[in-house]
Structure 1
Amino acid sequence: MKKKLLGDDRRAQLLHILKTSGKPVTGTELARIANVSRQVIVGDITLLKAKHEPIVATAQGYMYFHTSATQSSERIVACLHGPERTEEELNLLVDLGITVKDVTIEHPVYGDLTASIRVSSRKEVKQFLDKIAATNAAFLSELTDGIHLHTLIAPSEELLDEAEDALSKAGLLVL
């Protein structure tokens, strides 16, 4: 039987796994590795985030966000469309080499609500949409009649300009 690591040692192990993985790791997988429940992992991740570790939860699992010189430009764009065009929107962006970091809506009661998306390939877009479908979750933009913001990350401002132009031509950008 595997030995359970205690608190700080377990969190150090989780941090090492996330930093070296290069891809999202599910809470279930982390729980298996650490020999604890998934709920313990959720608590550990919350504590690590509270210590300012750049961990994000995506539809594919937890990721450690490494800053990269190749992804140095960031821009927020305002989009408007129904849920049926989400796949088109995300694929248009990732096909240009853009990472869609998150989605934000302005809720009338809660103010700004932001959720991590972190997709940068068609495979990740599919995984994100499959997770939405499997959980029967609503898109945040459904709470605002399709109006939402995305934070986009790209290697250059020129690529972000190209992405904005493509969204506009597709009728997905709020003008």
Structure 2
Amino acid sequence: MSDNMKMPGEERRELLLETLRTATKPFTGKALGEMTNVSRQVIVGDITLLKAKDEPIIATSQGYLYMHTSSGPDKIEKTLVCQHTPEQTEEELNILVDYGLTVKDVRVEHPVYGDLRASIMVSNRQEVKAFIRRVTEANAVYLSNLSEGGVHMHTVSADNPSQITSAEAALKKAGILIE
């Protein structure tokens, strides 16, 4: 917005939806707030309302992303089960993206809460580095720290099965993949 007028809620949510639908990269809550002259907290509430209307918006480590129904005609997804120390997280993610995979999420089985899932959405080393930096700067723990022995799962996607097979072999060699 060009002036400092606060945009009405429904109009703002329509703009957020259109912005996210046409975006080629994630938008942070701060950037969306600046665009609509509201706080990041207001954006979080708006996104929650849009999700309640079944809009496929996810919060990734880079910001909000609209999940279009088709991720490509030949995308293949697989769930990989991994275990490693927190210090090996960057190595694990780099192995996956180096073979052309997108790491969509991480899931753990929590002893009290059951299945917990968090979106990651990294596809290259630069995004991995930014993800690791955000975790470090926030003094956060990796979701794998909440599971028994650090066991966790990643949903990955690739253009062809050989990319996944090669990444699995590299993870196995690094002692990270659980078969």
TM-score, structure 1 length as denominator? Answer: 0.94
Partner amino acid for 2:164? L
Per-residue CA deviation, residues 38-90 of structure 1 (Å, 9 max, x unaligned), is 11100111111122222111221111123322562111110010001000000
| Shift in Å, 1:3 | 3.2
1:10 to 9, 12, 19: 12
SS at match of 1:103: strand
Q: Residue 23 of structure 1 aligns with which residue?
A: 25
SS at match of 1:57: strand
Partner amino acid for 1:50? A
**Aligned equivalents of 1:162, 1:114: Cα separation in 2:** 25
Partner amino acid for 1:118? M
2:120 to 104, 117, 120: 117
Listed as ranges, the gaps of 5+ residues in structure 2 are none
TM-score, structure 2 length as denominator? Answer: 0.92
**Aligned equivalents of 2:110, 2:117: Cα separation in 1:** 10
| Shift in Å, 1:121 | 0.9
Q: Residue 61 of structure 1 aligns with which residue?
A: 63
Partner amino acid for 1:122? R
Listed as ranges, the gaps of 5+ residues in structure 1 are none
**Aligned equivalents of 1:167, 1:70: Cα separation in 2:** 27
In 1, are the aligned partners of 2:90 and 2:128 still within 8 Å (CA)? Answer: yes
SS at match of 1:74: strand
May I ask how many residue pairs the two structures share in their alignment?
175
SS at match of 1:127: helix
Partner amino acid for 2:152? H
SS at match of 1:117: strand
Identity level (%): 55
Per-residue CA deviation, residues 118-139 of structure 1 (Å, 9 max, x unaligned), is 0001111011000000010001
**Aligned equivalents of 1:11, 1:75: Cα separation in 2:** 33
CA change 1:135–1:150 in 2 (3 A) is same
In 2, are the aligned partners of 1:75 and 1:153 still within 8 Å (CA)? Answer: yes
In 1, are the aligned partners of 2:99 and 2:164 still within 8 Å (CA)? Answer: no
